[in-house]
């Protein structure tokens, strides 16, 4: 007999209750019917990643934690935009302002916190915003579109992240901070000074010791007045001066309230059937605003909701980090001048780094690091363990690498961390969680770890640590199975580089190398082709293709062979040729004594064994005959394979040859992350092998089936159906849009099936097939980019046009690579 589920109602849908539900469903997926009341009209998202959304480095979709499908799969009822007005504990009933009601057996209150708005004159004017949720970010982005100056009141974490984001969006920014130095709760004066200097070097006006007197304007914000009479023009004011637990609802329900909703160590309130988690919660006299303790609350609450447990919330010092790209700071524990403490300090003025470790009774009680934060976790580990540092007191400030025993090895550093050492601050993930997930679930890729633990899935700063843990746990198995990073010149992944090129509007390779802090002066043969592709893809018409950053095959329009000769493949659109083209190929083979002429699997003719010195004259003769490069070497379209279709075949349902030619003419000339091979089959008999291509078309009586994501090389994979369309024009638009989406979001050398595995087939279908407006937008961008991103810079797009001269072959330096 199936046991009836209990009713769990959650008030609030932030990060803490979201994590609590994950823990609950992992432990006991069938215990509760869950109903959520969310005041915001959206799903759960990563609020600590709002700063990258504001700066343009991420989109809202990038920071969604639980999408609609997640709730649906677990049978969760989510009431969006329904703020709870009343909790009736006697009736065990929750009622929203919109009149929705739900009864509960267990209730979790997660109402979060509210921003503090300084009640100065003018604080209610349009253009005065807080910085707490996506609506605030949308308001700021709307103001950025109009330009002008933003005044950010508050020089703490949120205020500085807002200032950096607004500056990245093109606004002039002034930060007003009441205290003498920035982030005084997390940084000492020295680190605060370095932080202020860095922000000012980025063009942000920082004014410490500044007290706001009034905000002026008639119908909207126009200026901010300080106590000393200074007037600062402003079109936007962002208040980031602090938060308060949102406990009014619980207070009206008769629960015990202190600074927040008072709970015991199990997260139960004064009512044993009511729990509280998140920023609204007070445990042992403390309230919390950083994510790590909130996630600990979530885990403890989930354990007690699913059965008897010994789990208890315990206070732990939480490190502070600033979510501003390029600024490295780390603070944990105490850094005041309390009696009995001593400081160990290291400054490097040339490098702009500062390290301070605070000791008491030869134990670490705090650390403040700026610029060089590599040892932050090590100091935090000693703080938590209470280790006596007497034996290495003299070298403590130099970090773990100076303590002997191979400390300089990153793997040794990670190996020495305790299992409860926090690796991912954004998501509160410790070392033990990651190692257990790797071993228990058989994870062998970074994406797998991210999917199962969320470690490094947010800001990405802990990616190196996660990879070190995977190497330590898996050894060579991780090295073999892990997706390739960009290269040894940078710690950034391909995804980070793609994102930051757009967010920071970087439009040249030297600019990328400088702004993203490459460790080499000019990059290498691995990263420069990738950077060149990303810039060509992201800034069509603005970025000038750098041919010296292409592999040799792409620069000479030929494939280098094992004996040092080359193979040349002229283009034949859709596999169709003419007697004149065949004569030209034969004449070239005779004239240059080309030893092998072969028909390829893509229905083209390959001239193998061409000498390097003959490449220019070979292409010159082929161009004169109206033949252009077949791009058989390219990270772009190679061929569209076709069958004869309805013109000749008794089974053909559509003109597959004609459609293949149109597709090849549409797609030819555009670079893509990796090679693209297409096929069009005139009927379901699939003579063109459309079901194992990057993109395939199957012609049927009622239209065209569009498939993608196939592979038939080292990896064998059949295609996935994108959808069915009725006309040839629909095929062209859908394939063009799909290709553009791949070009804009793919990583260099990532085949389309790997891209689809990473992005998600259902998501791609929702963007390209289900959403006609998005499809049209991607197709429009595809057509625009086709004007600029041409695969053959020496020949016009139309066969038979006059060819341009080749670039000098003497300049070739990069080796061929696939």
Residue 29 token pair: 């997926």
The Cα–Cα gap between 435 and 443 comes to: 10
Q: How far is CA 112 from CA 115, 186, 277, 279, 536, in A?
A: 10, 22, 8, 5, 44
**Confidence band (pLDDT; 50, 70, 90) for 185?**
confident
Cα–Cα dist 441/527, whole Å: 32
Mutual angle of helices 291-305 and 15-27, in 10-degree steps: 40
pLDDT higher than threshold 50 for residue 500: yes
**CATH number, span 553-624:** 3.90.480.10
Which CATH number is associated with domain 128-241? 3.50.50.60
649 is in an annotated binding site: yes
Q: Which residue has the tokens 């220019």?
A: 616
pLDDT > 50? residue 803:
no
Domain spans, the chain: 6-113+245-305, 128-241, 494-549, 553-624, 637-786
pLDDT (mean) for 267-274: 96
Residues in the chain: 818
pLDDT value of residue 3: 67
How confident is the model over 285-327, as pLDDT tens digits? 999 988 889 999 999 999 999 988 899 999 988 888 777 766 8
User: Quick check: 479 pLDDT over 60?
Assistant: no
Would you say the CATH fold of 128-241 matches that of 6-113+245-305?
Answer: yes
Instruction: Tell me what the mean pLDDT of segment 169-174 comes to.
Output: 94
DSSP tag of 625: T
**Does the annotation list 692 as a binding residue?**
no
In the prediction, which pLDDT does 757 show?
Answer: 85
The H or E element containing residue 637 is: strand 637-642
- pTM listed for this prediction: 0.63
CA 16 to chain centre: 21
Q: Is residue 687 part of an annotated ligand binding site?
A: yes
Distances (CA, A) of 724 to 591, 615, 699, 760: 48, 43, 10, 19
- Rounded Cα distance, 237 and 235, in Å: 7
Q: At residue 811, does pLDDT exceed 50?
A: no
Give the per-residue pLDDT at 483.
Answer: 43
Cα distance between residue 186 and residue 340, in whole Å: 20
Summarised one tens digit per residue, pLDDT across range 117-126 is: 999 999 999 9
If you average pLDDT over residues 773-794, what whole number do you get? Answer: 76
| Residue-level pLDDT at 652 | 87
CATH architecture classification, 637-786:
2-Layer Sandwich (3.30)
76 by DSSP, 3-state: which?
coil
Nearest one of 634, 654, 663 to 576, comparing CA atoms = 663
| Cα separation, 430 vs 437, whole angstroms | 11
**Pair 530, 672: CB distance under 8 Å:** no
At residue 349, φ and ψ (nearest 5 deg) are -65, -35
Q: Report whether 131 contacts 157 (CB < 8 A).
A: no
Give 806's pLDDT tier (boundaries 50, 70, 90): very low
Q: What is the mean pLDDT of residues 760-768?
A: 89
Question: How many CB atoms are located within 10 Å of the residue 757 CB?
Answer: 14
- Top-confidence residue, 215 or 802: 215
Task: Please give, one letter per residue, the 3-state secondary structure of 446-500.
Answer: HHHHHHHHCCCCCCCCCHHHHHHHHHHHHCHHHHHHCCCCCCCCCCCCHHHHHHH
Q: Residue 209 to residues 180, 215, 226: CA-CA distances in angstroms?
A: 5, 18, 10
Task: Please give the pLDDT value at position 480.
Answer: 42
Give the DSSP per-residue string, 704-761.
EEEEE--EESSSEE--EEEEEESSHHHHHHHHHHHHHHHHHHPPTT--HHHHHHHH-H
Retrieve residue 529's tokens.
């082709």
Query: How far is it, in rounded angstroms, from Cα 262 to Cα 270?
Result: 7
State how far the Cα of 538 lies from the Cα of 541, in Å rounded to an integer.
10
SS3 per residue for 374-395:
CCHHHHHHHHHHCCECHHHCCC
3-state SS, 42-55, equals CCEECHHHHHHHHH
Counting residues of the chain whose pLDDT is more than 70, the rounded percentage is: 92
pLDDT, tens digit, 9 for 90 and up, residues 323-353: 776 688 889 988 877 788 899 999 887 777 8
Q: CATH number of the domain at 6-113+245-305, please?
A: 3.50.50.60
Q: Is 527 annotated as a binding residue?
A: no
Stretch 247-251: mean pLDDT, rounded? 97
């Amino acid at each position: 007999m199936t046991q009836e589920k209990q009713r769990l109602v959650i008030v609030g849908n932030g990060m803490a209750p979201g994590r609590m539900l994950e823990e609950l469903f992992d432990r006991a997926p069938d215990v509760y019917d869950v109903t959520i009341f969310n005041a915001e009209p959206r799903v759960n998202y990563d609020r600590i990643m709002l700063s990258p959304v504001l700066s343009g480095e991420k989109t809202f979709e990038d920071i969604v934690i639980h999408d609609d499908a997640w709730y649906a799969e677990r049978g969760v009822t989510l009431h969006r935009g329904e703020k709870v007005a009343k909790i009736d504990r006697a009736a065990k009933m929750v009622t929203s302002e919109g009149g929705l009601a739900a009864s509960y057996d267990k209730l979790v209150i997660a109402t979060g916190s509210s921003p503090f708005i300084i009640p100065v004159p003018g604080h209610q004017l349009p253009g005065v915003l807080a910085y707490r949720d996506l609506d605030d970010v949308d308001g700021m982005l709307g103001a950025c579109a109009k330009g002008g100056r933003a005044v950010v009141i508050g020089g703490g974490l949120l205020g500085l992240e807002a200032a950096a984001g607004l500056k990245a969006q093109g606004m002039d920014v002034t930060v007003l901070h009441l205290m003498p130095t920035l982030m005084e709760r997390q940084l000492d004066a020295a680190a605060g000074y370095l932080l202020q200097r860095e922000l000012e070097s980025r063009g942000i006006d920082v004014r410490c010791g500044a007290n706001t007197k009034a905000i002026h304007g008639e119908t909207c914000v126009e200026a901010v007045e300080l106590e000393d009479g200074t007037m600062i023009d402003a079109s936007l004011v962002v208040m980031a001066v602090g938060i308060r637990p949102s406990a009014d609802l619980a207070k009206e329900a008769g629960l015990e309230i202190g600074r927040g909703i008072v709970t015991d160590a199990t997260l139960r309130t004064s009512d044993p059937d009511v729990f509280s988690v998140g920023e609204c919660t007070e445990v042992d006299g403390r309230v919390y605003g950083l994510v790590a303790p909130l996630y600990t609350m979530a885990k403890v609450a989930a354990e007690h909701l699913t059965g008897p447990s010994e789990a208890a919330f315990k206070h732990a010092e939480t490190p502070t980090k600033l979510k501003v790209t390029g600024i490295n700071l780390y603070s944990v524990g105490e850094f005041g001048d309390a009696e009995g403490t001593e400081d160990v300090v290291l400054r490097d003025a040339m490098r702009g780094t500062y390290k301070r470790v605070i000791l008491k009774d030869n134990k670490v009680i705090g650390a403040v690091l700026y610029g060089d934060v590599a040892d932050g976790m090590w100091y935090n580990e000693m703080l938590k363990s209470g280790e006596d540092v007497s034996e290495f007191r003299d070298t403590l400030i130099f970090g773990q690498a100076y303590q002997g025993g191979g400390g300089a090895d990153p793997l040794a550093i990670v190996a020495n961390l305790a299992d409860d050492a926090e690796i991912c601050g954004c998501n509160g993930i410790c070392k033990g969680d990651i190692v257990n997930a790797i071993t228990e679930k058989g994870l062998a890729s970074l994406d797998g770890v991210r999917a199962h633990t969320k470690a490094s899935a947010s800001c990405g700063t802990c990616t190196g640590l996660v990879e070190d843990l995977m190497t330590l746990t898996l050894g060579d198995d991780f090295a073999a199975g892990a997706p390739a990073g960009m290269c040894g010149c940078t710690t950034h992944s391909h995804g980070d580089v793609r994102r930051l090129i757009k967010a920071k509007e970087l439009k040249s390779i030297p600019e990328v190398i400088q702004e993203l802090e490459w460790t080499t002066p000019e990059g290498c043969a691995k990263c420069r082709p990738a950077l060149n592709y990303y810039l060509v893809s992201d800034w069509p018409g603005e970025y000038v293709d750098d041919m010296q950053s292409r592999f040799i095959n792409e620069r000479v329009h030929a494939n280098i062979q094992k004996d040092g000769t080359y193979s040349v493949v002229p283009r034949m659109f859709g596999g169709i040729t003419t007697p004149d083209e065949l004569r030209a190929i034969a004449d070239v083979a005779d004239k240059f004594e080309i030893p092998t002429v072969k028909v390829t699997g893509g229905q083209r003719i390959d001239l193998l064994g061409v000498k390097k010195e003959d490449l220019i004259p070979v292409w010159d003769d082929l161009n004169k005959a109206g033949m252009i490069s077949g791009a058989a070497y390219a990270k772009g379209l190679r061929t569209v394979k076709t069958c004869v279709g309805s013109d000749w075949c008794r089974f053909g349902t559509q003109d597959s040859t004609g459609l293949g030619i149109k597709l090849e003419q549409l797609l030819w000339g555009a670079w893509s992350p990796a090679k693209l091979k297409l096929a069009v089959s005139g009927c379901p008999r699939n003579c063109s092998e459309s079901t194992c291509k990057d993109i395939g078309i199957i012609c049927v009586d009622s239209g065209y089936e569009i498939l993608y994501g196939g592979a038939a090389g080292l990896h064998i994979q059949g295609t996935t159906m994108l959808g069915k369309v009725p006309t040839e024009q629909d095929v062209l638009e859908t394939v063009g849009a799909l290709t553009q989406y791949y070009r804009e979001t793919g990583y260099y050398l990532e085949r389309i099936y790997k891209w689809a595995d990473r992005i998600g087939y259902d998501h791609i279908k929702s963007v390209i097939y289900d959403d006609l407006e998005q499809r049209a937008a991607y197709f429009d961008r595809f057509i625009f980019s086709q004007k600029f991103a041409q695969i053959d810079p020496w020949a016009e797009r139309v066969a038979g046009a006059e060819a341009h001269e080749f670039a000098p072959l003497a300049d070739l330096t990069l080796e061929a690579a696939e």
